[in-house]
Amino acid sequence: MKIGIIGVGATKFGELWRYGIKDLLAESQLLALEDAGLSERDIDMIVTGNMCSSTFSGQSHLGSMASEILNINVPSIRVEAACASGSVAIRQGIHAINSGEADIVMVNGVEKMTDVQTRQATTGLMGAGDEEWEGTQGLTFCGLYAMMARAYMHKYSLTREQLALVSVKNHKHATLNPIAHFHNEITVDQVINSSIIADPLTLLDCSPITDGSASIILASEEVAKKCEKPVWIIGSGQANDTLSLHARKSLTEITATTQAVQRALLQAKIGIDKVDVTEVHDCFSIAEVMAIEDLGLIPRGEAGKIMEEGQTYFDGKIPINSCGGLKACGHPIGATGIKQAWEIVKQLRGEAGKRQVKGAQIGLTHNVGGTGSTVVVHVFSR
């Protein structure tokens, strides 16, 4: 069964001091309903992806919050899968429709991150790793991805300048995206010379602490066919790997990505070569480098060359992160997977404005929890 997306909505991403988590969630939910042309009474179920609301906002029980906002009494739950929470929420919505429990499901992702100090945010996010073997040893995700970056650079001779090109490209794309956290272009020299966070990664290699919310409305095939501009989810795959990085067989690839994309493409009955636009999980610049290889978009070890040639710009041969990615659009943890779907829907509808990928028919999203412990891939079609 195909699942239709019939409405999308997203708040501005950034340091949104004036808004609480409920404000953000309400805004994206109402925007999605408006986009779909639906009443809240049409919703059969709500699923909300979130990682750290209890830590960052002192607020658990987001399922009840989401239904209260709409003043409806339908089943409403929160799901958590670290930074992949949003995409796992989408999968729960898909399962609800496929099971026959619901015809129309609202799926949200939300995170309010800037009301706590940086060290509190870093500690909260490290909950996505192995607390016993990584967290208590002082490791952070910057440190873990820095290890992966060093291993990759050594194995494939990726230069520091090539790695920096990921952030340069994503900031350029973000200047074309009205909801993006950052609207400034940057240079390779600025990336390399910004403050070192965990060598070789600097500040401008890292996604920011961001507030934001995004919502999409899923519908059964029968319902979606009656809507004006549905976009179809034609494949969905998830795979998991070890919680800790040290237990992996390789530091230069994420096996769960390869498995998840294989499952999603098998459902979609297409090859990766048919994908026109891709949103990948670039929590750090090295994550995008590895993602495009793990997804099979390019051969292993060729990412540096592809970046230098500019092939991953929105008007290039392999458009990646046309919205600005996590690096520049922002990374409000639970919202990221939903925002990726929001961007692909915009692209496939032809509504992406100055960052529009010409003739986009097939899109793909790649959302990662931890260092690759949970990976979800979705494939979308016009």
Task: Dump pLDDT digits (tens) for 332-373.
Answer: 999 999 999 999 999 999 999 999 999 999 999 999 999 999
Give the Å distances, CA to CA, from 204 to 129, 147, 163, 198, 286: 22, 17, 11, 12, 12
Report the CATH number at residue 247: 3.40.47.10
Long-range contacts of 29-35, Cβ-Cβ distance < 8 Å, separation of 24 or more: 29/66, 29/69, 29/70, 29/106, 29/108, 29/215, 31/215, 32/7, 32/8, 32/106, 32/215, 32/216, 32/217, 33/7, 33/9, 33/70, 33/106, 33/217, 34/7, 34/9, 35/7, 35/8, 35/9, 35/217
Percentage of residues of the chain with pLDDT beyond 70:
100
Q: Let me know if residue 314 belongs to a domain.
A: yes
- Terminal Cα-to-Cα distance of the chain (whole angstroms): 15
Distance CA 122, CA 318 (A): 33
Do 198 and 95 reside in the same domain of the chain?
A: no
Evaluate if pTM is beyond 0.75.
yes
Chain-centroid distance, C-alpha 47: 16
Give the pair of three-digit tokens for residue 268. 């979609």
Do 93 and 186 reside in the same domain of the chain?
A: no
Do 28 and 145 reside in the same domain of the chain?
A: no
> pLDDT of 189-244, one tens digit each?
999 999 999 999 999 999 999 999 999 999 999 999 999 899 999 999 999 999 99
Do 242 and 226 reside in the same domain of the chain?
A: no
Do 222 and 270 reside in the same domain of the chain?
A: no
Give the pair of three-digit tokens for residue 117. 């100090």
Q: Quote the pLDDT of residue 1.
A: 64
Do 224 and 275 reside in the same domain of the chain?
A: no
> Based on the structure, what is the number of domains in the chain?
2
> pLDDT of 48-104, one tens digit each?
999 999 999 999 999 999 999 999 999 999 999 999 999 999 999 999 999 999 999
Q: Quote the pLDDT of residue 10.
A: 98
Do 183 and 254 reside in the same domain of the chain?
A: yes
Interacting residues of 165 by C-beta distance below 8 A, sequence separation 6+: 188, 307, 308
Percentage of residues of the chain with pLDDT beyond 90:
98
196 phi, psi to nearest 5 deg: -75, 130
Distance CA 127, CA 147 (A): 18
Neighbours of 228 (CB within 10 A): 7
Identify the band that residue 171 occupies on the pLDDT scale cut at 50, 70 and 90. very high
Q: Let me know if residue 309 belongs to a domain.
A: yes
Q: Let me know if residue 122 belongs to a domain.
A: no
Residue 256: its H or E element: helix 255-268
Q: Let me know if residue 21 belongs to a domain.
A: yes
Q: Which residues are catalytic?
A: 83, 331
- Range(s) of the domain holding residue 79: 3-117+210-231
Q: Quote the pLDDT of residue 99.
A: 97
Do 222 and 300 reside in the same domain of the chain?
A: no
DSSP 3-state assignment of 307? Answer: helix
For residues 322-335, average pLDDT: 98
Q: Let me know if residue 123 belongs to a domain.
A: no
Name residue, tokens 């034609």: 234
Identify the band that residue 30 occupies on the pLDDT scale cut at 50, 70 and 90. very high
Q: Let me know if residue 226 belongs to a domain.
A: yes
Do 13 and 45 reside in the same domain of the chain?
A: yes
Identify the band that residue 12 occupies on the pLDDT scale cut at 50, 70 and 90. very high
| Average pLDDT of every residue of the chain | 97
Q: Let me know if residue 68 belongs to a domain.
A: yes
Residue 162: its H or E element: helix 160-174
49 DSSP 8-state letter: E
Do 151 and 283 reside in the same domain of the chain?
A: yes
Do 186 and 254 reside in the same domain of the chain?
A: yes
Q: Quote the pLDDT of residue 228.
A: 87
Q: Let me know if residue 149 belongs to a domain.
A: yes
Do 27 and 107 reside in the same domain of the chain?
A: yes
